[in-house]
Amino acid sequence: AQKVTQAQTEISVVEKEDVTLDCVYETRDTTYYLFWYKQPPSGELVFLIRRNSFDEQNEISGRYSWNFQKSTSSFNFTITASQVVDSAVYFCALSGKETSGSRLTFGEGTQLTVNP
Amino acid sequence: KAGVTQTPRYLIKTRGQQVTLSCSPISGHRSVSWYQQTPGQGLQFLFEYFSETQRNKGNFPGRFSGRQFSNSRSEMNVSTLELGDSALYLCASSTGGVSTDTQYFGPGTRLTVL
């Protein structure tokens, strides 16, 4: 069965610090997709990135970067120079043929608090 | 393009009642999925609809049901409400509903059962 683990329940940093959110996944699929979503206090899940299992290139988007390592089944997310507006719950998620359709398996989420 | 919309945003019901939640997907999206989010269980998949057919179902009792209309709008119904049904219900839409698709979420409906 598919599983996503986010071991860090809560992280608190001071503004401008770099922070890395960990994500480890399990799946029997050879083709699968990994996602990160941000959930601010308003509740809506905001899509951040999608990565397929064949593309292990790291990606950078502004202050955000993602490190996908298939060998360790990890898909970590780093925020550089964090800002107060980055405070939210961040979810890592997985989809693949094992669960068919576009069904997402989510991790438990990491609550990030960025203090001024 | 307008995002996913959900109505109502907040609901308060009592045990034993039933409730219907509505979701309008992004224009052109044909797949709608529903998720339940609670502090104890996290985000759990309820079901997915594509072209008016339920294509995938999570591990929830039969009290939870849904449907999709020809315009891709979807409704979710919970009958005989229990206290444990209090949750944020999130709807997500995607284009074709395969694992390659990205799901875009609405703001959710927060249901409180008293």
pLDDT above 90: percentage of residues in chain A: 77
Determine which of A57-66, A94-103, B43-52, B96-105 has the lowest per-residue pLDDT on average. A94-103
pLDDT at A38: 97
* CB-closest option in B33, B88, B97 to A43: B88
Amino acid found at A112: L
pLDDT at B97: 61
B95 touches chain A (CB under 8 A): no
Average pLDDT over residues A13-37: 95
* CB-closest option in A37, A102, A108 to B98: A102
Q: Do A104 and B103 touch (CB under 8 A)?
A: yes
* CB-closest option in B42, B99, B105 to A45: B105
CA dihedral angle for residue A92, residue A96, residue A100, residue A103, rounded to 10 degrees: 10
Interface of B with A in 30-49 (CB under 8 A): 31, 33, 35, 42-43, 45, 48
pLDDT at B100: 72
Average pLDDT over residues A9-15: 97
Instruction: State the Cα–Cα distance between residues B18 and A25, nearest whole angstrom.
Output: 37
pLDDT at A57: 83
Q: Please check whether residue B18 is in contact with residue B81, taking contact to mean a CB–CB distance below 8 angstroms.
A: yes
Tell me what the pLDDT averaged over chain B comes to: 94
pLDDT at A44: 92
Distance from CA of A5 to the nearest CA of B (A): 12
The string of pLDDT tens digits covering residues B5-44 is 999 999 999 999 999 999 999 999 999 999 999 998 999 9
pLDDT band at residue A98, thresholds of 50, 70 and 90?
A: low
pLDDT above 70: percentage of residues in chain A: 97
* pLDDT for residue A97 is more than 90: no
pLDDT band at residue B56, thresholds of 50, 70 and 90?
A: confident
Torsions phi, psi for A2 (to 5 deg): -75, 145
Which one-letter DSSP state was computed for residue B39?
Answer: T
pLDDT at B21: 98
Q: Please check whether residue B32 is in contact with residue B23, taking contact to mean a CB–CB distance below 8 angstroms.
A: yes
Tell me what the pLDDT averaged over chain A comes to: 93
* pLDDT for residue A43 is more than 80: yes
pLDDT band at residue A55, thresholds of 50, 70 and 90?
A: confident
Q: Please check whether residue B13 is in contact with residue B111, taking contact to mean a CB–CB distance below 8 angstroms.
A: yes
Q: Please check whether residue B32 is in contact with residue B68, taking contact to mean a CB–CB distance below 8 angstroms.
A: yes
Handedness of CA B9, B97, A67, A69 (dihedral sign): positive
Length of chain B (residues): 114
Q: Do B55 and A43 touch (CB under 8 A)?
A: no
Determine which of A56-60, A67-71, B103-107 has the lowest per-residue pLDDT on average. A56-60
Instruction: State the Cα–Cα distance between residues A51 and A33, nearest whole angstrom.
Output: 6
